[in-house]
């Protein structure tokens, strides 16, 4: 029954009556005329829709009752169901795709319905055939984890693998990654591989590829175009800019957050436009973009994870900070209020932490804007207690940067210096 995979009830009957099976290229007349491929369906499917993959790579759901006419234009089922070997075109640039898991790096097995990792360039090209027209894709699976299970150890693995390719002939490297913690990973790579000679794009998707409106293919295509045409290096997150399919946004890996749980345009550059956008196949640079990048590639792939993030709030019990001190943490990032404040109730423990030599950095839970601790008395008190104001560094980025700095540098003054130095556009004007 794989030819009607996932279709039941009314939708199954509709397909049978029209002698159409999954994988057929069809032309559908409904409110508009649609050209595309009938996609299989999976769990939680209703029986009143067909799912159609449009040429753009976008999946849509069409209500059967509204379909006036459907006809087969061709039946290239085998192209979909079977892995085909893709001929390489020596004139195209080379792109490497490293997959780490998450929806983006998965391919639905049309026989079993299971989501499996993309294993080869061939499989990748068969799920997003547009890629083979713009680049010669190599692919490698590093591991397969949902991103909430990505740990700092995984960051090290990814960085080590990238380092191996620092002298390769790739035009750029894609890291397929779950979206939940993609911005933490992009931060670490930005610091650990600052100055890496070719651009790196982390790409995810917010909708799995078997669902209508999956963004996986467009994000991948956008990322490949970006890597080929951006004419710069650095670590970026490349995702839909918003709900439409016109624009793919390329965010600096250290200035970006997942700001929405489910929207396709979930990632945003904090306080600015994205560094680049890909629109109408053109890569456009943000004119105001004067972000900073180090020139020389000097990998530093070590980490110290004894860093805590404290989001201060009314009712925060300072004995929690006391426990962190007792547990021999080496760094604490505060997500303070407003311009970078925490209540007076914390001062005693902060003093103790400072005396113990723990690195203390201040960011703001406002997320946008700049920490300024000289405006109010309370900020000045905190400066006296040894807390370093981290400018407009995003709290999550400050956390990762502290882990990285404490892993690669020992001297206390040097640590402070590095934390305030712009390594990978984590600070902006």
DSSP annotation string for 37-59? EEPP--TT--SSEEEEEETTS-E
Q: Environment class of residue 362 by beta-carbon count within 10 Å: exposed (0-12), middle (13-18) or buried (19+)?
A: buried
The footprint of a copy of itself on this chain (CB under 8 A) covers a number of residues equal to: 64
DSSP annotation string for 221-240? HHHHHHHHH--S-SEEEEEE
Q: Is 33 a catalytic residue?
A: no
Which stretch, 28-36, 62-70, 143-151, 215-223, contacts a copy of itself (CB under 8 A)? 143-151
Residue 307: phi and psi, rounded to 5, are: -130, 130
Residue with tokens 């290096």: 233
Measured from the CB atom, the residue of 355 and 368 that comes closer to a copy of itself is 368
Angstrom CA distances, 225 to 43, 78, 190, 245, 275, stand at 33, 28, 21, 15, 15
Which stretch, 3-11, 58-66, 122-130, 371-379, contacts a copy of itself (CB under 8 A)? 371-379
Mark 282-311 with x for binding to a copy of itself (rule: CB under 8 A) and - for no binding.
-----------------------x-xxx-x
Q: How far is Cα 185 from Cα 181, in angstroms, rounded to an integer? A: 7
- Out of 31, 242, 368, 384, point to the residue binding a copy of itself (CB under 8 A): 368
Residues contacting residue 60 through CB under 8 Å, at least 6 positions apart: 34, 36, 51, 52, 54, 212, 213
Catalytic annotation, pick one of 157, 161, 180, 229: 180
Measured from the CB atom, the residue of 15 and 310 that comes closer to a copy of itself is 310
- Nearest approach in angstroms of CB 178 to a copy of itself is 8
- Going 407 to 267 to 131 to 36, the CA torsion angle's sign is positive
Residues 323-362 within binding reach of a copy of itself (CB under 8 A): 323-324, 327, 335-345
Q: How far is Cα 53 from Cα 59, in angstroms, rounded to an integer? A: 4
- Nearest approach in angstroms of CB 364 to a copy of itself is 5
Q: Is 181 a catalytic residue?
A: no
- Out of 121, 371, 388, 394, point to the residue binding a copy of itself (CB under 8 A): 371
104 within 8 A of 238, measured Cβ to Cβ: no
Q: Which helix (H) or strand (E) holds 201?
A: strand 200-203
Q: Is 368 a catalytic residue?
A: no
- Out of 266, 321, 385, 424, point to the residue binding a copy of itself (CB under 8 A): 266
Catalytic annotation, pick one of 100, 258, 330, 405: 258
Q: Is 247 a catalytic residue?
A: no
Measured from the CB atom, the residue of 122 and 272 that comes closer to a copy of itself is 272
- Out of 185, 214, 349, 425, point to the residue binding a copy of itself (CB under 8 A): 185
Chain centroid offset of residue 389 CA? 27
Catalytic annotation, pick one of 21, 100, 103, 363: 103
Does the footprint of a copy of itself cover residue 169 (CB under 8 A)? no
Q: How far is Cα 338 from Cα 53, in angstroms, rounded to an integer? A: 46
Measured from the CB atom, the residue of 4 and 184 that comes closer to a copy of itself is 184
186 within 8 A of 237, measured Cβ to Cβ: yes
Measured from the CB atom, the residue of 121 and 371 that comes closer to a copy of itself is 371
Active-site amino acid positions? 103, 179-180, 258
Binding site for a copy of itself (CB under 8 A): 146-152, 154-155, 179-181, 184-185, 257-263, 266, 305, 307-309, 311-317, 319-320, 323-324, 327, 335-345, 364-372, 376-378, 396, 399, 403
């Amino acid at each position: 029954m794989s030819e009607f995979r996932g279709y039941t009830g009314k939708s199954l009957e509709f397909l049978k009556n029209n002698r159409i099976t999954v994988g057929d290229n069809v032309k559908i007349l409904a409110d508009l005329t649609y050209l595309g491929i009938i996609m299989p369906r999976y769990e939680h499917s209703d029986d009143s829709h067909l799912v159609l993959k449009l040429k753009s790579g976008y999946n849509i759901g069409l209500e059967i009752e509204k379909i006036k006419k459907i006809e087969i234009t061709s039946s290239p089922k085998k192209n979909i169901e079977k892995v085909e070997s893709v001929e390489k075109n020596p004139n195209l640039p080379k792109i490497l795709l490293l997959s780490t898991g998450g929806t983006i790096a998965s391919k639905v097995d049309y026989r079993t319905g299971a989501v499996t990792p993309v294993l080869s360039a061939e499989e990748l090209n068969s799920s997003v055939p547009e890629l083979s027209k713009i680049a010669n894709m190599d692919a490698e699976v590093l591991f397969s984890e949902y991103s909430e299970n990505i740990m700092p150890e995984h960051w090290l693995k990814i960085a080590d693998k990238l380092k191996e390719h620092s002298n390769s002939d790739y035009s750029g490297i894609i890291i397929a990654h779950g979206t939940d913690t993609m911005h933490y990973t992009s931060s670490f790579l930005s610091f650990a591989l600052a100055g890496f000679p070719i651009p790196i794009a982390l790409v995810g998707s917010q909708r799995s590829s078997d669902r209508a409106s999956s963004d996986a293919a467009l994000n991948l295509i956008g990322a490949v175009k970006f890597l080929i045409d951006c004419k710069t290096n650095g670590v970026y997150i490349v995702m839909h800019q918003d709900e439409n399919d016109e624009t793919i946004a390329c965010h600096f890996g250290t200035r970006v957050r997942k700001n929405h749980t489910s929207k396709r345009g979930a990632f945003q550059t904090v306080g600015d436009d994205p560094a680049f956008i890909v629109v109408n196949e053109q890569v456009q640079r943000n004119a105001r973009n004067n972000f900073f990048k180090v020139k020389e590639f000097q990998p530093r792939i070590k980490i110290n994870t004894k860093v805590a993030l404290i989001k201060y709030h009314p009712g925060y019990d300072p004995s929690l900070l006391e426990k962190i001190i007792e547990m021999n943490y080496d760094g604490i990032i505060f997500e303070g209020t407003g311009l970078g404040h925490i209540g007076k109730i914390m001062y005693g423990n902060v003093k103790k932490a400072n005396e113990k030599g723990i690195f203390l950095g201040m960011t703001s839970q406002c997320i946008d804007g700049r920490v300024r601790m000289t405006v109010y008395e309370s900020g000045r008190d905190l400066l006296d207690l040894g807390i370093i104001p981290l400018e407009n560094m995003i709290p999550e980025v400050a956390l990762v940067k502290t882990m990285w700095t404490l892993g690669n540098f020992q001297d206390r003054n040097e640590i402070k210096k590095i934390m305030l130095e712009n390594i990978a556009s984590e600070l902006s004007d």
